[in-house]
Amino acid sequence: MTATTHTATASNTAPSPTTDAELETLLAAAQSAAAPLAALQPAERAKLLDAVADGLDTAADQLVPVAQRETRLAEARLRGELKRTSFQLRLFGEVLHDGSYLGARIDHADADWPMGAPRPDLRRMLIPLGPVVVFAASNFPFAFSVAGGDTASALAAGSPVLLKAHSGHPALSKLTADVVVRALAAAGAPDGTFALITGTAAGASALRDPRVKAGSFTGSIPGGRALFDIASSRPQPIPFFGELGSNNPVFVTERAAAERGKEIAEGFISSFTMGAGQFCTKPGTLVVPAGSDLVEALREAALPSAAPLLNDRIQSGYTEVLQELAANPRITVLAQGKDPLADPPSPTLLLTTAADVLAEPHALQTECFGPTSVVVTYDDESQLPALAETFAGQLTATIQGTESCSVEDLVEVLTRKAGRVLWNQWSTGVSVTYAQQHGGPYPATTAAGSTSVGTAAIERFLRPVAYQGFPQHLLPEALREENPLGVARLVDGRLVDDRRVNGRES
Amino acid sequence: MTATTHTATASNTAPSPTTDAELETLLAAAQSAAAPLAALQPAERAKLLDAVADGLDTAADQLVPVAQRETRLAEARLRGELKRTSFQLRLFGEVLHDGSYLGARIDHADADWPMGAPRPDLRRMLIPLGPVVVFAASNFPFAFSVAGGDTASALAAGSPVLLKAHSGHPALSKLTADVVVRALAAAGAPDGTFALITGTAAGASALRDPRVKAGSFTGSIPGGRALFDIASSRPQPIPFFGELGSNNPVFVTERAAAERGKEIAEGFISSFTMGAGQFCTKPGTLVVPAGSDLVEALREAALPSAAPLLNDRIQSGYTEVLQELAANPRITVLAQGKDPLADPPSPTLLLTTAADVLAEPHALQTECFGPTSVVVTYDDESQLPALAETFAGQLTATIQGTESCSVEDLVEVLTRKAGRVLWNQWSTGVSVTYAQQHGGPYPATTAAGSTSVGTAAIERFLRPVAYQGFPQHLLPEALREENPLGVARLVDGRLVDDRRVNGRES
């Protein structure tokens, strides 16, 4: 199948920017959808997510060719990403069936509560925030775009979604949105549960609208910070879950370099060039022992051939940052394909020293979105914690070590700097699981307390409410005494796991 | 005991503002304390909290008279509040022993994970944010001040605390801080775990400092918003947990007014005048059926006698807002003691109509910090949801109803507006429990996703981190396979409750 096979349908044309009048209609619809969507049982919302997942799987042969054309990514990669995307929707369905995400807590009235005053009957759970605006990313046209992780977690939470399309894949965005809207409608979702909006101005207007209760974003530091500032400076500020930028440093101990130098060189090259280096978890720095065979292995390695970047803007941004880094007198070229600045660009490995990074950390840690990474040589392993300390907040940080290495201090620093710390693995390829954490201190994200990947992502679009002294019939089902939803709850401070055995639990 | 009995010690003098040099020393100490405090086992941190609680209880006879003198609150109230404060510290100790708060999740490696790629071993838990700055409140000189809820939850989380003293009780702040610092030192806490700072400038400087990772605050809307703006506009923004203002409306159904009018009138008067009306949960609006006996009961009620406000600034702010409200042509006086503007002020009940509130909601819902509340009459119960819709975000909202009332629509609106919704109870007197929620949409707070009271408050000062592919010996104990801390964990998506039976669990 070639990129030109499926371009003849109306849905493949790029939508024009959302007008103010259109946006008003969509915002009103999203607000109208909020209460009925929130009122659905979690298991009913799971059916909506399953329907979207089924719709995406069914439409794969329509979606993937358009994605190929608009993103220049390979078909196999895109098909894998689409599979991940529908899997993610279904995994949130599982979370809804389980119900633990509601964080249900029940305190029965207690006349002898030792605080000094009787304890009333209090019942607390998480409820949806209301309509949210999600800004799609360019580099994962399925998994972080229209029907991606943020849409999945927001819909799972029960929050209607206004999805700001990324300009890098407009026709795919429209086509995917059509699939989502049709699937939701067929499954009985309230009108206004999901809508696509286009254009920078419409996205910013939506984020400013008082009906919108949260925003999420994956993209650049300047773009994300501008949106964070809008969200924070509203008359009524709202949470903004922005994923902005990350260098994802890797620290190789002396013994690991000696014992596994060749393997580490291969793993690193494969990781930093994966997806043409356009992953937010690309290892942008590899810290290695000076004079080790690993440095030579990297110098002599066969770098992968050039692969096209997503679009012209990313291509020009990449070559600009690469030239800036290469012009820094502290940096030399370690290895490079023959056309590093061409379109498509050959991969580049730059070289500097720990002393240089300590002297000028920010300039040498600039994120270079594309197939470039910086190798940093150190003289003594004891320098590693201080070197790690120079990094800003990160999505990931990695240690390549051996069991006998003393890396406790390094682990302490990296845990403080990053949302995910890896041992002898590579940061690219973020698994969608229960325990995943894709986030980290600023500028990796604007909300280090949350994750954008994994089942815990649902928590971003929820807030707690407590009911005091309520009659049973007015309580949400998750808080009623008989526990009709069978969810795990904290009852009088003790965890009580009443979850029923059902198809998903067996 | 009188307010003048214990004023002769050096600790009773107000501290001078923290200088830049002093602040630098305290910030450096807090940063140094962060890693060792975070590294303590949860049960070890529980001992620190218990030590502070014991210290406060032991010092009660020194603390309470100073509090009486500086806040003009009654001894019995202050002793009760101090008991609540030490109870709260010990309750967080219980949370630490339990360990569920860590949110531990373990995904074992799974080659057949249906996402389309093998799942690595991933282990996620919450870790402390690092040093935080806590701005103390004026109206709870113990429970929301130096050793209050925010200090307790931050220390429990493992985050060092810089406590910005409230200017309303400077000597008490110094005395309490001395108790806290001595107790922490004696219990072996790292140096720098807690420090008092004084002065508006020092508080703002601390909030701007890159070593500080979060802020919390209880106070006015303008003050809280100014600090929120500082926290959000930093080069590296940090979370700011501000509790700003709340009207806490109460909606009385027709049947409830008919069946329990007298009881509701008494409960309301007691609640809005409690603590001289200086509670953030004071019911500021009572919505009642026009022409009901309840209105007459309120008109003829004996209001409590005048009680002094906390200080001159609050006294003048109160009389200013009261005069502004009373001058509004939509408002008349329903009932008033004989000296409503004197110091101390007699309580005031104002009167308006639902139509007036719908016409001019914001002016009529202004928070009046002191013993004033507004009674709003409605003609038809079906107006209540629309009336509720006019309110901004609230800490609490209350329904006084009967089991046969149709209030589902009202509950839906109030759940959306407030952090806590009450039925036939009064919002003042916030119990410290597992299921408490003291928070709500802006301007009630700047962070509706969190609570400042109850055990869930610990979550504000934590963030998640995941370890991928880690060897057992480098993992935090809560994530090791054998579960040495015996904490409840989500293992491969299933809740596993390994908590050991110990003294606290029995």
The answer to whether the Cβ–Cβ distance between B115 and A87 falls below 8 Å is yes
Rounded Cα distance between B370 and B368, Å, is: 6
Residues of chain B with Cβ-Cβ distance to A84 below 8 Å are 115-117
Establish if A478 touches chain B: CB-CB under 8 angstroms: no
Nearest to A357 by CA among A261, A286, A437, A281: A286
Provide the pLDDT for residue B328: 96
Residues of chain A with Cβ-Cβ distance to B451 below 8 Å are 464
Which residue has 């240690």 as its token pair?
A: A399
Task: Please report the domains of chain B, with CATH numbers, ordered by start residue.
Answer: 20-244+449-461 (3.40.605.10), 250-423 (3.40.309.10)
Establish if A436 touches chain B: CB-CB under 8 angstroms: yes
**How distant is the alpha carbon of residue B303 from its chain centre?**
28
Restricting to B residues 195-254, those with a Cβ less than 8 Å away from any Cβ of A are 228-229, 232-233, 236-237, 239
Provide the pLDDT for residue A14: 65
Contacts of A355 (CB under 8 A, 6+ apart): none
In the numeric block, which tokens belong to residue A429? 């390829």
CB-facing half-sphere around the CA of B374: CA atoms within 13 A = 30
Strand partners, A35: none
Restricting to B residues 285-324, those with a Cβ less than 8 Å away from any Cβ of A are none
Residues of chain A with Cβ-Cβ distance to B281 below 8 Å are none
Which residue has 């599979």 as its token pair?
A: A83
Rounded Cα distance between B468 and B459, Å, is: 23
Torsion from C-alpha of B145, B147, B150, B155, nearest 10 degrees: 160
Give the angle subtended at the CA of A61 by the CAs of A57 and A67, to the nearest 5°. 95
Rounded mean pLDDT, A43-55: 98
Question: Between helices B221-233 and A221-233, what is the axis angle to 10°?
Answer: 180
Provide the pLDDT for residue A137: 96
Establish if B85 touches chain A: CB-CB under 8 angstroms: no
Establish if A106 touches chain B: CB-CB under 8 angstroms: yes
**Nearest 5°: phi and psi at B327?**
-80, -10
In the numeric block, which tokens belong to residue B450? 């969190």
Question: Between helices A75-98 and A60-71, what is the axis angle to 10°?
Answer: 120
A198-230 pLDDT, tens digit each: 999 999 999 999 999 999 999 999 999 999 999
In the numeric block, which tokens belong to residue A115? 């605080």
What are the strands of the beta sheet with A250-252, ordered from one edge? Answer: A332-336, A348-353, A372-378, A285-289, A250-252, A394-400, A418-423, B462-468, B122-128, B105-107, B489-491, B494-496
Establish if B439 touches chain A: CB-CB under 8 angstroms: yes
Nearest to A406 by CA among A280, A275, A271, A254: A254
The answer to whether the Cβ–Cβ distance between B420 and A35 falls below 8 Å is no
Query: Among A81, A243, A381, A477, which one carries the catalytic annotation?
Result: A243
Q: What's the whole-model pTM score?
A: 0.95
Establish if A28 touches chain B: CB-CB under 8 angstroms: no
Strand partners, B464: B126
Nearest to B208 by CA among B229, B194, B192: B229
**How distant is the alpha carbon of residue B286 from its chain centre?**
23
Provide the pLDDT for residue B499: 65
A243 is catalytic: yes
The number of residues in chain A equals 506
Strand partners, B423: B399
Nearest to A284 by CA among A247, A243, A318: A247
Contacts of A228 (CB under 8 A, 6+ apart): A240, A242, A446, B232, B237
Q: Strands, DSSP E only, in B437-501?
A: 462-468, 489-491, 494-496
> Best mutation site among B467, B475, B500, B506 for testing chain A: the one with the most A CBs within 10 Å?
B467
Rounded Cα distance between A324 and A313, Å, is: 17
Residues of chain A with Cβ-Cβ distance to B409 below 8 Å are none
Contacts of A98 (CB under 8 A, 6+ apart): A487, A488, A499, A504, A505, B493
> Best mutation site among B228, B436, B481 for testing chain A: the one with the most A CBs within 10 Å?
B436
Rounded Cα distance between B2 and B441, Å, is: 41
CB atoms within 10 A of CB B484: 12
Q: What is the DSSP string of A446-501?
A: S-TT--SSSGGGGGGGEEEEEEES--GGGS-GGGSTT-TT---EEETTEEE--PPP
Closest partner CB to A474 (pick from B113, B411, B429): B411
The answer to whether the Cβ–Cβ distance between B423 and A474 falls below 8 Å is yes
> Best mutation site among B281, B431, B459, B496 for testing chain A: the one with the most A CBs within 10 Å?
B431
Query: Among B81, B254, B280, B368, which one carries the catalytic annotation?
Result: B280
Q: For all residues of chain A together, what is the average pLDDT?
A: 94
- How many angstroms separate the Cα of B501 from the Cα of each of A113, B97, B98, B470, B487? 22, 11, 10, 29, 11
Rounded Cα distance between B105 and B126, Å, is: 10
Nearest to A215 by CA among A192, A197, A241, A236: A241
The answer to whether the Cβ–Cβ distance between B236 and A393 falls below 8 Å is yes
Residues of chain B with Cβ-Cβ distance to A226 below 8 Å are none
- How many angstroms separate the Cα of A409 from the Cα of each of A385, A395, A412, B184? 6, 19, 5, 25
Establish if A441 touches chain B: CB-CB under 8 angstroms: yes
Rounded Cα distance between B212 and B129, Å, is: 9
Closest partner CB to A468 (pick from B420, B441, B465): B420
The answer to whether the Cβ–Cβ distance between A495 and B474 falls below 8 Å is no
Q: Residue A4 — pLDDT band, cuts 50, 70, 90?
A: very low
Q: What is the DSSP string of B404-440?
A: TS--HHHHHHHHHHEEEEEESS-SSS---SSS-----
Residues of chain B with Cβ-Cβ distance to A105 below 8 Å are 434-435, 456
A368-382 pLDDT, tens digit each: 999 999 999 999 999
Determine whether B234 is exposed, middle or buried from the number of CB atoms within 10 Å of its CB (0-12, 13-18, 19+).
Answer: middle
Establish if A270 touches chain B: CB-CB under 8 angstroms: no
Pick the residue from chain B with its C-alpha nearest to A222. Answer: B235
Rounded Cα distance between B322 and B346, Å, is: 12
B367 is catalytic: no
Q: Under DSSP, is residue B285 helix (H, G, I), strand (E, B) or coil?
A: strand
SS3 content of chain A, % helix, strand, coil (to 5): 45, 15, 40
The answer to whether the Cβ–Cβ distance between A493 and B127 falls below 8 Å is no
The answer to whether the Cβ–Cβ distance between B236 and A439 falls below 8 Å is no
Q: Which amino acid is it at B343? A: D
Instruction: Say if CB B486 and CB B505 are below 8 A apart.
Output: no
Rounded mean pLDDT, A262-272: 97
Establish if B506 touches chain A: CB-CB under 8 angstroms: no
Provide the pLDDT for residue A467: 98
A459-483 pLDDT, tens digit each: 999 999 999 999 999 999 999 999 9
The answer to whether the Cβ–Cβ distance between A456 and B464 falls below 8 Å is yes
Query: Among A70, A280, A368, A381, which one carries the catalytic annotation?
Result: A280
Distance in Å, alpha carbon of A164 to nearest chain B alpha carbon: 24
Stretches where chain B sits below pLDDT 50 are 1-11, 501-506
- State ipTM: 0.96
In the numeric block, which tokens belong to residue A48? 């909506």
Establish if A168 touches chain B: CB-CB under 8 angstroms: no
Strand partners, A125: A465
CB atoms within 10 A of CB A313: 12
The answer to whether the Cβ–Cβ distance between B437 and A228 falls below 8 Å is no
Rounded Cα distance between A415 and A438, Å, is: 13
Asked whether the CA dihedral A469, A472, A476, A477 is positive or negative, the reply is: positive
Pick the residue from chain B with its C-alpha nearest to A80. Answer: B116
- How many angstroms separate the Cα of A493 from the Cα of each of A122, A231, B91, B101? 12, 36, 10, 11
Establish if A412 touches chain B: CB-CB under 8 angstroms: yes
Residues of chain A with Cβ-Cβ distance to B477 below 8 Å are none
Contacts of B482 (CB under 8 A, 6+ apart): none
CB atoms within 10 A of CB B295: 20
Instruction: Say if CB A331 and CB A350 are below 8 A apart.
Output: yes
> Best mutation site among A102, A396, A416, A452 for testing chain B: the one with the most B CBs within 10 Å?
A416
Closest partner CB to B422 (pick from A228, A462, A469): A469
Rg (CA), chain A: 24
Torsion from C-alpha of A290, A295, A299, A305, nearest 10 degrees: -130
Contacts of B432 (CB under 8 A, 6+ apart): A115, B84, B87, B88, B91, B149, B453, B454
The answer to whether the Cβ–Cβ distance between A474 and B439 falls below 8 Å is no
Closest partner CB to B497 (pick from A407, A443, A495): A495
Provide the pLDDT for residue B405: 85
Establish if B93 touches chain A: CB-CB under 8 angstroms: no
Question: A114-118, A408-412, B212-216, B232-236: which has the minimum mean pLDDT?
Answer: A114-118
Establish if A393 touches chain B: CB-CB under 8 angstroms: yes
Closest partner CB to B434 (pick from A392, A393, A490): A490
CB-facing half-sphere around the CA of B380: CA atoms within 13 A = 3
Query: Does an H or E element contain A296, and which?
Result: helix A293-300
> Best mutation site among A431, A459, A481, A490 for testing chain B: the one with the most B CBs within 10 Å?
A431
